[in-house]
Amino acid sequence: MSQPTIWHNTRCSKSRQTLQLLKDNGFKPEIVDYVSNAPTKAEIENVLALLKIEAIQLMRTSDARFKEAGLSKTAPSDVLIDAMVAQPILIERPVVLHNGKASIGRPPESVLDIL
């Protein structure tokens, strides 16, 4: 059985719940602390393609750092992706990748669809 990868933030309750859900379902996910090990532009673009969403939909727009960075919901995708690379804390979490699919764990049970 292949194992999923989770872009994880230990300070986030939804991320912790999603990680536990994966473990409870018999998985031993690769845990990527995406805040200290920022994904590359290519990795973010890949996740966006797998999720079939726009860059803004992968961002935590209510986080104060979003506005502090001078970002807006109408900013071009390349600007938003560059911001996620520079400040990965702005990425919505957690993101789970498995067998060429991706899901955002909000709610945590939503990741079960790709396992």
- Known catalytic residues are 12
The DSSP H or E segment spanning 96 is strand 95-98
Are the C-beta atoms of 20 and 10 separated by less than 8 Å?
Answer: no
In this structure, what token pair is assigned to residue 102? Answer: 């991706």
Rounded to 5 degrees, what are φ and ψ at 42? -65, -40
Q: How far apart are CA 16 and CA 14, in angstroms?
A: 5
Q: How far apart are CA 67 and CA 95, in angstroms?
A: 22
